Structure 1
Amino acid sequence: MTFEVPTIDISPYLAPSATAATDPDCARVAAEIDRACREVGFFQVVGHGVDDALVEGLKDALDEFFGLELETKKQYRREPGANRGYAPPKSESLANSLGVTPANLMNDFYEAYTIGSETSWYDDVDLPETSYAPNNWPDAAPRFQRATLLYFAAARSLSRVLLRACTEALGLPISYFDGLVDHSIDAMKMNNYALPEGEVELAGELMGMGAHTDFGILTVLWADRVAGLQVLGDDGTGEETWHDVMPGEGAFLINLGDAMARWTNDRWKSTLHRVNPPLVDGRIIRRRSAAFFFDGNHDALITPLPGTVADGETGYPPITIADNIAAKVAGLKTGLASGDKPAGAEREAARFLAAADAG
């Protein structure tokens, strides 16, 4: 089997009332998603309905903020315990979120800015600020807040369309997840691969972004069409290796997170991926991305979905969305002590370690 990230036209699901039971085009989309999630854990979508102008506004916002002087950007540095604000280059190591300690600890050279849902967005629900922290908007970049929130809203809407399709792809009633995502922890991490453009000689195992899985239900990724993203997958012989992946023109890359893998007992894959330094002919090329994380309610319990645990199998132990995220966020900043690893982390870490020799 040749490795491929399939492209899926999801336009049939843009109609709010469309379902696989009544629309054969939706049934086709659901089947394509099921196959992609079983075999790859990644797919890209077209026919998504997101306005190009919102993407252009996002790009302008990234340029406005990341173009500031480093000392200015550090004024908006993320506070400990809050996943909001600026993270300078080399301040994180995403591979550590798996509960392992690679040799290139704290060597991810990207810089990032994270925004997300706040307690104030859900007036009728009592929510912990640890999961729904206030945003830290940079007044030094006056157009940043509006442009990123407009794009955030579009990515959020797309994620809900995708969840409807995924729910039917799993053979579940279309409203199955409604009570698990109605006050979802949604976050968007905007990344800039921060070494300056030009010739560079890399020493050691410098990574753009270390190998990791995402934490929640699914991720909607916009990225410049520049080399760097790699996905771990079958090389056609049963062995796993790293494959270069780039979004198609006007497409978004979608990948599953750990919550969905745990819910499906790994029937669907939360696939390891990484970003290598974006090099072309020995030169660093500028690369930007924005990953919208659709994570689910902080108190949603992740337990095996109906029909996902066969006789004799053992499912992942129960864990809440917030507990799983908290453990992994702590790991990417400082490394995880064995007692802090989320339940079931050994299964995730084992795949990372098995991939260490994949190249």
Structure 2
Amino acid sequence: MSFHVPTVDISSYTGLADPFGRPATAAALDAACREVGFIQIVGHGVPDDVSAGLAAAMDSFFGQDLETKKAARTSGVNRGYTPPKSEALSLSAGVAPADRMNDFFEAFNIGVTTDDHPELALPADHYAQNLWPDVPGFEEQVQRYFHEARRVARALTTGFADALGLPGDFFESFTDHSIDVLRMNNYALPPGEIELDADLTGMGEHTDFGIVTVLWADRVAGLQVLGHDGAWHDVMPEPGALLVNLGDLMARWTGDRWLSTLHRVKPPVVDGRIERRRSAALFHDGNSDALIRTLPSADGVAYEPIRVDEHIEAKLNGSRGGVLNTTATREAERIRTAVPG
């Protein structure tokens, strides 16, 4: 069977279509989550001008010189600027690359802060303040998209609850102060900063950490997903669609009935240069203090309960701290046995 990422119209969950269509949508979500773990979603309701504004904001920031961008770098929190070759996502999945920190993408992160929930005593490390660069319109345009992407993530979790036969509000108590992070990625570097060879790593093999990821991306080749056949398959968003994939916490909840799919970025090289690629991933990771237990109805792997903050910290220690994540044994084995390519 050929690899295929299914397209699902979620308009019955975003208020753009009759809610009577939800059972069929929930069934389609369940099939996609069981068979692939990646979904093309339409009917999400994100206005075109909001997505265009996000792209323009990214261009404005990433178009600056490296030293200017480094002024927006933070230490010890998942916010601000990340320069090229300062991360290795494969470490979060239990695999050490030959070059310890080799992912050449650069990124800028924002997220939910303690100020967003003044009624709660939230930990400052997971709900850190955002650092906004002095780029005209950047904060406004990025915040607009962040708001829309979070809305889509919440609509999806309602659909997921229906798909799993759970109460419609099941995920709300786990996500009412969710560690939501928007990571904007840029995969273009000036000539001479990297060696253009077959082992070029834009973003190493990894699974996402939390509940669900909502991804806006250019229609440029590079994203690859590991299929059941052990081979890497190219994935590109359809026009107007957002890509959605599940994270580790959803796989733990469902006992691996639903897949936290391994993926990576291997950008194409055209005429000796990397073709530019941009993406923005909204990570909907759950409340820091939420305890994730495998659902009683799950008939697969029975995971040990884990707190969201402990899981996220172990993964970030790998990708950003350079510490091999020794708990990611399943992911590491799948990467090692994948068909080269």
TM-score, length of structure 2 as denominator length = 0.95
Q: Is the 8 Å Cα contact of residues 188 and 274 (structure 2) preserved in structure 1?
A: no
Q: Map of 1:196-275 to 2, 5 A cutoff?
A: 196=190, 202-203=196-197, 205-234=199-228, 239-275=229-265
Match of 2:59 among 60, 63, 66: 63
- Per-residue CA deviation, residues 145-195 of structure 1 (Å, 9 max, x unaligned), is 111000000000010001100111111111111111000000010000132
Q: Which of the residues 292, 309, 312 maps onto 1:325?
A: 312
Q: Is the 8 A contact 2:80 2:132 kept in 1?
A: yes
The question of whether the paired residues in 2 share the 8 Å contact of 1:219 and 1:291 is answered with: yes
Residues 1:197 and 1:7: Cα distance change in structure 2 (over 3 Å): farther
Question: Could you list the per-position Cα deviations for residues 282-340 of structure 1 after superposition, in whole angstroms to 9, with x for gaps in the alignment?
Answer: 54211111000000000111110131135xxx511111111100111010123335xx6
Alignment of 1:1-359 (within 5 A): 1-15=1-15, 23=20, 25-79=21-75, 81-139=76-134, 141-196=135-190, 202-203=196-197, 205-234=199-228, 239-280=229-270, 282-309=272-299, 314-337=301-324, 341-342=326-327, 345-355=328-338, 357-359=339-341
Query: 1:15 offset after TM fit, Å?
Result: 2.7
Once the two structures are superposed, residues 87-128 of structure 1 have per-residue CA deviations (whole angstroms, 9 ceiling, x without a partner) of 000010000111221224211111000000000000111100
2 CA distance for matches of 1:8 and 1:282?
Answer: 37
Aligned-residue Cα RMSD (Å) equals: 1.9
Separation of aligned partners in 1, 2:91 and 2:47: 36
Question: Could you say if the C-alpha distance between residues 193 and 130 of structure 1 is closer, same or farther in structure 2, counting changes exceeding 3 Å?
Answer: same
Is the 8 Å Cα contact of residues 42 and 253 (structure 1) preserved in structure 2?
A: yes
Q: Distance in 1 between matches of 2:242 and 2:169?
A: 24
Instruction: Give the superposition deviation at 1:16.
Output: 9.6
Rounded to whole Å, the distance in 2 between the matches of 1:287 and 1:17 is: 33
Unaligned segments of structure 1, at least 5 residues: none
Structure 2 stretches lacking a partner, 5+ long: none
What per-residue deviation string (whole Å, max 9, x for no partner) do you get for residues 254-295 of structure 1? 000001011111110000000002334654211111000000
- TM-superposed CA distance for 1:2, in Å, is 1.7
Instruction: Please give the alpha-carbon distance, in whole angstroms, between the structure 1 residues aligned to 2:119 and 2:295.
Output: 28
Q: Check 1:143–1:184 CA distance in 2 against 1; reply closer, same or farther (3 A cut).
A: same
Q: Is the 8 A contact 2:267 2:277 kept in 1?
A: no
User: Following the alignment from structure 2 to structure 1, what is the Cα–Cα distance between the partners of residues 32 and 200?
Assistant: 31
Structure 1 residues 18 and 266, CA, compared in 2 at 3 Å: closer, same or farther?
A: farther
CA contact (8 A) 1:227 1:279 kept: no
2:39 counterpart letter in structure 1: F
**Distance in 2 (alpha carbons) for counterparts of 1:189 and 1:59:** 13
Paired with 1:306 and 1:126, the residues of 2 have a C-alpha distance of: 31
The percentage of aligned residue pairs carrying the same residue is 56
Mapped partners of 1:316, 1:3: distance in 2: 28
Q: In the alignment, residue 285 of structure 1 is paired with which amino acid? A: E
Give the Å deviation of 1:350. 2.1
User: Does the residue aligned with 1:60 lie in a helix, a strand or coil?
Assistant: helix
What SS does structure 1 have at the residue aligned with 2:316? helix
Q: Distance in 1 between matches of 2:58 and 2:48?
A: 16
